[in-house]
A and B are shown apart, each in its own frame.
Chain A
Amino acid sequence: MQLGDDILGGRDHWVVRVTLATMFPPNERQLEAMADAADAHDMTVAARGPIVDDARDDAGMVFTAEVPADEIGQVPGRALAIAQETCGYGIAMQVTLVDLRICTADVYEAEALRPDTPELLAATDVAELLGISRQRVHQLHSERADFPAPYARLGSGPIWTRPAIEAFDKRWTRKPGRPARAAS
């Protein structure tokens, strides 16, 4: 695989992630053997994470390396060779390439550290953010159709996500004081 400078944009180094699928999950001894061989190339070897819980089809491992642009194409072959040389013989472990990603170090870091759980707020936190009492939070929740739906309901009460509450705060027109008494 050759990628031209026009595509690589003149960047020196790239992070390459190679996911290999196997018929059976590699055991610790096999992963260690691969990691020992991969260390020589400054590559990390990790067990492949489940795409679906307990799915056997997700067996395999992930190789990650940071290489100069002109070595990008060598990484998949290097990973395959390490996997086959350390585990392939006598174990009937068929190894196939199933995913290949190339990105800059900046993109890799951003994706690695991207939060997967939103910041959650209890009623007390929502009250603090909106500058109102906790009781008023529950009142808004029960009375206003445009108040965000709780992300979850725990034994201690509902919880919301911060972005939803902040969005509500922006569009919420406050009317301070007691509501006008309806004319009788």
Chain B
Amino acid sequence: MADDIDKLIDWARSQGWSIEVDANGYRRFYAPDGSYVVRYPATPSNPRRRLLDVVTATRAHGLPWPPPSKKEQRAQRRKDGRK
């Protein structure tokens, strides 16, 4: 599950979102316009539903879904001349 929230964070950052992690482990999601949207707890008792809550909230604020597949990401990197 930690892996899933990290993937969501990576995707959101790539789309102009900023995610701050505080000393207690809370991840706070800010939309590209800087507005605060939602947070993900450090140790949620129901991590799957909490992740879905964050997905739902960030999508409601314009985060495109789904993220591109690994194949598409590789193709994009090749196009951009990156490894």
| Interface positions of A (Cβ within 8 A of B) | 15, 27-28, 31-32, 35, 39, 42, 44-50, 62, 64, 66, 105, 108-109, 111-117
**Chain A neighbourhood of B66, CB < 8 A:** 113, 115, 117
Taken together as a complex, chains A and B put the C-alpha atoms of A42 and B53 apart, in Å, by 11
Closest to B38 in A: A46
Q: Is the CB of B52 within 8 A of A117?
A: no
Interface of A (DSSP majority class) = mixed
Is B61 touching A47 in the complex (CB atoms < 8 A)? yes
A42 touching B46 by the CB < 8 A rule? yes
B65 touches A35 (CB 8 A): no
B: which residues have CB within 8 A of A? 35-39, 41, 44-46, 48-50, 52-57, 59-62, 64-66
A173 to B44, CA, bound (A): 55
Residue in B closest to A114 when the chains form the complex, CB atoms: B65
Are A46 and B37 CB-contacts (below 8 A) given A15-B49, A66-B49?
yes
Contact indicator A31/B53 (Cβ below 8 Å) = no
Bound together, the chains give a CA A28 to CA B44 distance in angstroms of 21
| Chain B residues whose CB sits within 8 angstroms of the CB of A49 once the complex forms | 57, 59-62
Distance from A120 Cβ to chain B, minimum over Cβ atoms (Å): 10
| Cβ contacts A to B, 21 pairs, < 8 Å | A15-B49, A32-B36, A32-B39, A35-B39, A42-B46, A44-B50, A44-B53, A46-B57, A47-B38, A49-B57, A49-B59, A49-B60, A50-B61, A64-B49, A64-B53, A66-B46, A108-B49, A113-B52, A113-B65, A115-B66, A117-B64
